[in-house]
């Protein structure tokens, strides 16, 4: 195992020990199967303990794992067909948000999601998954197209936030996101939103209004990242772990506060350990919800969606 994060070091240490014992056994021809078995049992216990008791900050780290599946990975794994559509018909085609018609288990849907990129060149091309206004306007164009053809919308959220550059603000970043919030609230087709990685600020919320909102197990969803929160409150990134706990940004926190509808489980160790299993869990959840949502009257669908979000943050004493 290539250790990416400090909290995974106990697992990597045990894996190294097992490998060394095997090498010694091969070299000396001594039966060390009992030792190996004991270490493997300890490895299994340690792995469960490490990944089942992760802090908020550790989940933030996991959501940023370089090998974590992104939107295109899930499209390849769960879609029978996918036709990508481009452009907002006003400025350009924003590469940070991708979308198009797809077939999932025989169901035609519009899939829209953030794409960060896997290597340096691709990340620059995708602007690290940080969309400009034209990205959100492209997403809205595709949602309205889905509504026109009576097809459900599935959004996959994974962004550090909307692009904060001067040119983005000049082209109306805030207005583009706000317009999406308004229009998604009244779309007359089912909308399912899933946080598959990072869910930061308005950049995530811009494609995050739906009948069902889910988070995958090792993701986060918040108005601000732990680092930015720490820099504002303590003038330093040194308190990012404390900020992550205070923000209540994990799936369990969000579910307890009634802000999401559920948590989609991941393989032990994160989605990158077994992308096929993670994708299958995602696909199952999508198909289950589509079966429920597609039989509802469009007006009831919209009314329930508006009521759902209107109740968030309301306290009754």
Count Cα neighbours of 106 within 13 Å in the Cβ-side half-sphere: 2
pLDDT of residue 3 exceeding 60, the answer is no
CA angle (117, 122, 128) in 5-degree steps? 50
Q: Do the Cβ atoms of 286 and 104 come closer than 8 Å? A: yes
Predicted TM-score (pTM) of this structure: 0.93
**Helices 9-28 and 33-52 sit at what angle, rounded to 10 degrees?**
170
11-38 residue pLDDT tens: 999 999 999 999 998 888 888 889 999 9
Share of the chain above pLDDT 90, in %: 92
173-226 residue pLDDT tens: 999 999 999 999 999 999 999 999 999 999 999 999 999 999 999 999 999 999
> What integer is the mean pLDDT of 107-117?
97
Total number of residues shown for the chain? 317
In this prediction, residue 317 carries a pLDDT of 73
Confidence of residue 60 (pLDDT cuts 50, 70, 90): very high
230-252 residue pLDDT tens: 999 999 999 999 999 999 999 99
Token pair belonging to 160: 């550090």
Burial of 242 (0-12, 13-18, 19+ CB in 10 A): middle
Q: Which residue bears the tokens 């919209």?
A: 302
- Helix-strand-coil percent breakdown of the chain, rounded to 5? 55, 15, 30
What is the four-CA torsion angle of 45, 48, 53, 54, rounded to 10 degrees?
A: 120
In this prediction, residue 307 carries a pLDDT of 95
């Amino acid at each position: 195992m290539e250790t990416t994060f400090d909290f995974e070091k106990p697992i990597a240490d045990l894996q190294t020990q097992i490998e060394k014992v095997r090498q010694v056994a091969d070299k000396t021809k001594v039966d060390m199967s009992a030792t190996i078995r004991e270490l493997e049992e300890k490895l299994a216990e340690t792995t469960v303990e490490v990944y089942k008791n992760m802090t908020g900050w550790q989940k933030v780290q996991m959501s940023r794992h370089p090998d974590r599946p992104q939107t295109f990975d899930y499209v390849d794994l769960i879609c029978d067909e996918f036709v990508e559509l481009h452009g907002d018909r006003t400025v350009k085609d924003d590469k940070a948000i991708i979308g198009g018609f797809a077939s999932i288990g025989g169901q035609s849907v519009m899939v829209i999601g953030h794409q960060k990129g896997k290597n340096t060149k691709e990340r620059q091309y995708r602007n690290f998954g940080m969309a400009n206004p034209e990205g959100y306007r492209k997403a809205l164009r595709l949602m309205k197209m889905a509504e026109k053809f009576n097809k459900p919308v599935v959004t996959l959220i994974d962004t550090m936030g909307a692009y904060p550059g001067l040119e983005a603000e000049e082209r109306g970043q805030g207005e583009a996101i706000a317009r999406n919030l308004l229009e998604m609230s009244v779309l007359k087709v089912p909308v399912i939103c899933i946080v598959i990685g990072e869910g930061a600020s308005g950049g995530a919320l811009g494609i995050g209004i739906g009948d069902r909102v889910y988070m995958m197990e090792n993701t986060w969803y918040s108005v601000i990242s732990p680092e930015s929160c720490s820099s504002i409150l303590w003038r330093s990134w040194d308190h990012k772990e404390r900020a992550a706990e205070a923000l209540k940004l994990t799936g369990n926190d969000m579910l307890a506060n009634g802000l999401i509808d559920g948590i989609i489980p991941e393989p032990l160790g994160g989605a990158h350990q077994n992308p096929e299993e993670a994708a299958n869990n995602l696909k199952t959840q999508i198909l289950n919800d589509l079966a429920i949502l597609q039989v509802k009257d469009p007006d009831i669908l919209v009314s329930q969606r508006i009521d759902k979000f209107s109740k968030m943050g309301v306290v009754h004493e």
